[in-house]
Structure 1
Amino acid sequence: MSKALETILEIDLSALTHNFNYLKSKLQPQTKFLAVVKAFAYGSDSVEIAKHLQKLNVDYFAVAYTQEGVVLRDAGITTPIIVLHPQSVNAQTLIDRCLEPSIYSAHVLSEFIKTAEAQSQKKYPVHIKFNTGLNRLGFKNNDIESLVASLKKTSSVKVKSLFSHLVASEDANESEFSNLQIERFKTIAKNFEEGTGIKPWLHMCNTSGILNYPEAHFDMVRSGIGLYGFGNSIEEDKNLKPIASLKSVISQIHEIEKGETVGYNRAYTSQGVERTATIPIGHADGISRIYGNENGFVIINGEKAYIIGNVCMDMIMVNITGINCKEGDEVIVFDATHTASNLAESAHTISYEILTAISQRVKRVFLPE
C-alpha cells in the first residue's frame, strides 16, 4: 500500500481477483459470470477494472447506459456487454459498437427492431428484462403473448437471454418474496420458451443471490458490489476484500479557542480548546454533506477523527483533539479495515452510495497483482 501525499483512490487488483474467484467458487462450472461495471465500476475505474476482469475470462459485462459501453469499447474491451437501461435514441450506437441491449418495454423493442431492420441486421443479440416484483423496469408475464408476436415478425434480433432482478436477496426476512420471484421467473421462462420454441439463457441472481439462492443461478449470474468487496452481510464481508481505499492527507492544523466556530454557516462551535485538521477532499469529491456535523469520520494514525461543521466543496475539517498527528500525515477515509460500509452506516446510508460518488477528479492509483 502506498502512503497518500494527496487525495487518492487506491485500487487493489489482487483483491478484485480474490473476489472474482471467491464468487466463481459458488457456481457450477457451466454457469456464466457477468461482471457489472456500471457507474465507473462502482466508483473505481470501469476501463481498468474491465481490462483486468477480461484477463480473468469473465463471460459478460453489464453497464447501465450506452455511453458507458462505448467507453469500454473505445478502450479495447471485446467481451460481450449488456446495456441494462438503453434509451431508444441510442439504438444505432448500440449496433455500431456491438453492445447488446436489455429490452424492457414494447416501445424499446419496437424502436430497436426498426433500427436493426434499417441496418439489415440478422439475429442481433438482445436480452429481455422481466419484472417479477421490483417494479422498476421490465415486461410482465401477461406481456408474453404480444412480445412473442413482435419477435416472430422479424429476423433482425435474436433473444440471447431472459432475466429479472431480485428485490431483497440479502434480507433473510424477505426470503419468501425472493422465492416467489424465482418461481415467477421460472413460469415466465417456461411460457416464453413455449411461445417461441427457443430456450434463451436465464439469469436472475445479483451478488446476494449468488450467495443465498444457489437454486436460482440458472445459466448466468450477475455480480456488482461483490466484485468490489462487499457481500451485503457481516459473514460474507469476511470472505471478500474491498478493492478501493480512499486516502488523503492533513493540509493544515488549527488550534481553536472555546466558542470559536468552524466552517460555513458556523455550523460547529468549539466546546473548549480544540485542534482541527483540514483535509483536501469535499463534496465535489464524493464526501456528501450528510457526513458533516459529526455524522462521518476519517481515520488518522488509527484514531477516529469526526468531521465537524459542514462539508465544503473541496475540503473537510475534522476534530483531532487528543490525536497525535501532524501536517502531512495520512488520512484514511475508507480502506479494507475501516470500510466504506462503516463510514456509510455512520450516516445511515449504504456502501454503494459512497463508492459510486467518488469523483473522477480524485486520482486513481492501481496496485498490481
Structure 2
Amino acid sequence: MQASYRPTVAEINLDDLRANYEAFRKVLPAETKFMGCVKGNAYGHGAVEVTRELERLGADYVSVAFLDEALELRQAGILIPILVLGYTSPEGIPVAWKNHVTVTLFTPEVLEAVRQLPVDPEHRLKVHIKIDSGMGRLGLLPADAPDFIAEVHSVAQAELEGMFTHFAKADESNKSYTLMQYRRFMSVAETLRDRDIHIPIIHTGNSATAIDTPLLSSNMVRVGISLYGFYPSTEVNRELVALHPVMTLKTQAVYVKTLPPDWGISYGTRYFTDSEEIIATLPVGYADGYSRMLTGKAEVLIRGRRVPVVGTICMDQCMVTLKSFAEEAEQIKAGEEVVLIGRQGAVSITADELALHLGTIHYEVICMLAHRVPRVYVREGAAPNLVNPLLQT
C-alpha cells in the first residue's frame, strides 16, 4: 500500500461497486453485454482500480472519453476491451490500433487514418459508429449514416464491431423523446440489415434506460453514474434497482482550539464567533474538489452528528464549529474522524445534497474530486489498498 501524509481520503467500497454491478445484471436480459463507464477517472473513483474490479467481475467492456484515458488503463496492464466514446484524432489512430483500443468513428478524416494502418487480418482496428439521434453532439445524422457505415465496412483495416447512440432525456419520466431517438437509431440498423451489413454490438442504453426501460438498451448497456451508486435523476424508478453509494469522502480534524467571542474565521471574516466556540480545522479545501461555493451552506459529520462548516472554505482547509456539542465538544481532539460525503452512523451527507447547494448535479460533485486526494479501496476481508497519485513511482 502506498503512503499518504494527510488524513483526507476518498474511501471506495468495492463490495458496494460489486453489489451495483450485480443489481444491473439481475434486471437486464441475460444476453445483454455490460459496459462500465470509467471516464473522468471513473467519475472520481479511480479508473485503474475500478476497471480492475470490473474486469474481475466479468464486465464485457469499459468506456472512456478520450484515448489518453484508455492508454492509462493499458499501461496499468488492463486487458478488458476499451471503447473511446469521444473523438480520436487521426494521429491517435495508430496508437489506438497498437494498444488494442476500440475507437468511435463518425468523420471521413479519421476513417482515412484507419485506411493508412497496416493490413493485418489478425489485427484490425475495432470501431464503433456513433449516430446522433437527437443529442446534437457527436455522431452521424441518421440520413448520412448508412453510406458512411458501408464505406467503413469495406475498409480492410477496420473491424466494424459496434454502433451506438446516446439518449438526451432518458432520465426523465416522460419517455417520448427517448422513444423517438430509439426509432431514429433503429431505422439506421434496419437500413444496414437491408444492405446485408451486420454489426455485432448495438448499444443505446445508459444508466437510466437500464433502470426504467432495459429493453431499449439493445444488446449492450453503458452504465456510468449508477455503477457508483447514484440514480441518474429523481425521476427514474428507484424501486427497480437498489443502489449503494461507493464513495465516502472523509478526513480528520487536525487542529482544535477554543476561540473567544467575536473572533473572525477565514478569509473575508464571513463568520464571527458569537460566544466562546471550539473550532476544528480540517485539511480539505477547494483544491481537493470541496468547492468554495459550499461556504455558508455545507455541513460535515462528526460522531454521527451534522456540524456546520463556518467561514470561507480555503484552498486546502476549512473550519467547523463544535458549539452544537456543548460540553462534549471538549472531548473532540485532533484525529477525530470527519465525513464530508457519505455515512457516519445513522446519518449521511450525499453528493446530491452538495449538488443542491451548488446548483449542479451529483455527477459534477464526484467528478470534481481532485487528483491529489488519495483513494483507499476497501472490501470485506481484505486489507485496504491506498492509491496516492502524488507519490506513485
TM-score by length of 1: 0.91
Inter-CA distance 346–147: structure 2 relative to 1 (3 Å threshold) = same
Q: Structure 2: how far apart are the matches of 1:162 and 1:350?
A: 29
Give yes or no for contact 1:144–1:191 (8 Å, CA) kept in 2. no
**Deviation string for 1:176-204 (max 9, x for gaps)?**
11111111111122123334522342111
**Deviation string for 1:229-278 (max 9, x for gaps)?**
11235652881111111110111224344443221233334444433221
Q: Structure 2: how far apart are the matches of 1:154 and 1:87?
A: 18
Number of the residue aligned with 1:212:
212
Number of the residue aligned with 1:160:
161
Give yes or no for contact 1:46–1:72 (8 Å, CA) kept in 2. yes
The farther-off stretch of 62-71 and 5-14 is: 5-14
Number of the residue aligned with 1:333:
340
Number of the residue aligned with 2:46:
45
Number of the residue aligned with 1:359:
370
Question: 2:126 aligns to what SS in structure 1?
Answer: strand
Number of the residue aligned with 1:102:
104
Inter-CA distance 319–191: structure 2 relative to 1 (3 Å threshold) = farther
Give yes or no for contact 2:153–2:160 (8 Å, CA) kept in 1. no
**Deviation string for 1:93-117 (max 9, x for gaps)?**
1111100001133333333x2442x
**Is residue 2:245 matched to residue 1:242?**
yes
Q: Structure 2: how far apart are the matches of 1:34 and 1:345?
A: 29
For structure 2, list consecutive stretches of 5 or more residues without a partner in the other structure. Answer: 381-393
Number of the residue aligned with 1:231:
231
Question: 1:79 aligns to what SS in structure 2?
Answer: coil
Number of the residue aligned with 1:346:
357
Number of the residue aligned with 1:65:
66
Inter-CA distance 285–115: structure 2 relative to 1 (3 Å threshold) = farther
Give yes or no for contact 2:163–2:199 (8 Å, CA) kept in 1. no
Q: Structure 2: how far apart are the matches of 1:178 and 1:319?
A: 47
TM-aligned CA deviation for residue 48 of structure 1? 1.2
| Of 279, 286, 289, the match for 1:286 | 289
**Is residue 2:285 matched to residue 1:267?**
no
Paired letter, 2:374: K
Inter-CA distance 225–152: structure 2 relative to 1 (3 Å threshold) = closer
Question: 1:20 aligns to what SS in structure 2?
Answer: helix
Number of the residue aligned with 2:311:
309
Q: Structure 2: how far apart are the matches of 1:171 and 1:335?
A: 26
Give yes or no for contact 1:54–1:79 (8 Å, CA) kept in 2. yes
Give yes or no for contact 1:163–1:204 (8 Å, CA) kept in 2. yes
Paired letter, 1:20: Y
Number of the residue aligned with 2:151:
150
Q: Structure 2: how far apart are the matches of 1:81 and 1:5?
A: 34
**Is residue 2:254 matched to residue 1:255?**
no
**Is residue 2:31 matched to residue 1:30?**
yes
Question: 1:6 aligns to what SS in structure 2?
Answer: coil
Q: Structure 2: how far apart are the matches of 1:115 and 1:339?
A: 49
Give yes or no for contact 1:91–1:115 (8 Å, CA) kept in 2. no
Paired letter, 1:283: Y
The count of residues paired between Structure 1 and Structure 2 equals 361
TM-aligned CA deviation for residue 127 of structure 1? 0.3
Number of the residue aligned with 2:299:
297
**Deviation string for 1:334-356 (max 9, x for gaps)?**
12543222222232222211211
* Percent sequence identity over aligned pairs: 30
Inter-CA distance 124–282: structure 2 relative to 1 (3 Å threshold) = same
Number of the residue aligned with 1:12:
13
TM-aligned CA deviation for residue 5 of structure 1? 7.9
Question: 1:25 aligns to what SS in structure 2?
Answer: helix
Question: 1:342 aligns to what SS in structure 2?
Answer: helix
Paired letter, 1:346: H
**Deviation string for 1:151-178 (max 9, x for gaps)?**
25521112111101111211114x1111
Inter-CA distance 295–77: structure 2 relative to 1 (3 Å threshold) = same
TM-aligned CA deviation for residue 81 of structure 1? 0.5
- RMSD over aligned Cα, in angstroms? 2.2
TM-aligned CA deviation for residue 329 of structure 1? 1.0
